[in-house]
Amino acid sequence: MYRHYHPTRRVRAWAACLLLGFALVGAAHAQSRNLAPGFSGLPKDAKVIVAPLDVELFSMSAGGVLEPRADWTAAAQTHMKNALQSKAQRLGLGTGDLDEKAADDFAELISLHAAVARSIALHHAGALKLPTKDGKLEWTFGDVLHPLQLRTGARFGLFTWVRDSYASAERKAMMIGMAILGVGITGGAQVGYASLVDLETGQVLWFNQLVRASGDLREDKPAAESVDALLAGFPAAVQ
């Protein structure tokens, strides 16, 4: 028996296909925003040098003043370094760390990452996007990192920058008191940037940022979770 295909069904079918297409394009666009144009993954057996962690932890006073905590920062350095090593093994990366002398020799160059990362966060991932880049991850260090490649023999470098703050007991009491009055105030935040850079060309190949009110770098397991979040979407090696 001939079955009449109602036009409404045809319209719904086309609409469903279009929505699916838009969803797939949107997902691909979201993923590509973290990758430089033309880059999809690291070459097999690529060596990645892990730059010294740029991390600092603070206690937030009752009035919202951030006070550096050297003991917390030292703990975070240890926990995050261990977590980065474990993450690299799970990703199958060939990584190496800078020795103490190399880290001192290149400290000024490595510190440039903070400035570049903030610019990417503001003008690529943030609200003040640069129209000339058309939403593409096109950022470079130029040739300033080339000496790091010559020193280490690594083609790629992984750079991280993290600042984390925690409400003091006085700040927590202030938060409760203000909440009773119907006023909300913050109690600390975790902000981080991670960049994979081609040391030969200076091109930023992958970038991710972490901005949230949760997370804790002072303990082993929470620090590992923070590293996983910071490196979410890290490009896998091409087989």
In a domain, 38, yes or no: no
Pair 95, 9 in one domain: no
Q: What is the Cα gyration radius of the chain? A: 22
- State which residues of the chain have pLDDT below 70: 1-31, 185, 238-239
Q: Is residue 84 part of a domain?
A: yes
Model confidence over 118-162: pLDDT tens digits?
999 999 988 788 888 888 999 999 999 999 999 999 999 999 999
Indicate whether 19 and 127 sit together in one domain. Answer: no
Q: Which residues of 59-83 are buried (b: 16+ CB within 10 A; e: fewer)?
A: bbeeeeeeeebeebbebbbebbbeb
Same domain? 162 vs 83: yes
Which of helix, strand or coil describes residue 100?
helix
Q: Which pTM does this prediction carry? A: 0.80
Domain count, the chain: 2
What pLDDT is recorded for position 185?
64
Co-location of 55 and 162 in the same domain: yes
Same domain for 22 and 112, yes or no, is no
Domain extent, residue 6, equals 1-32
Q: Is the same domain home to 23 and 71?
A: no
Residue 55 lies in a domain: yes
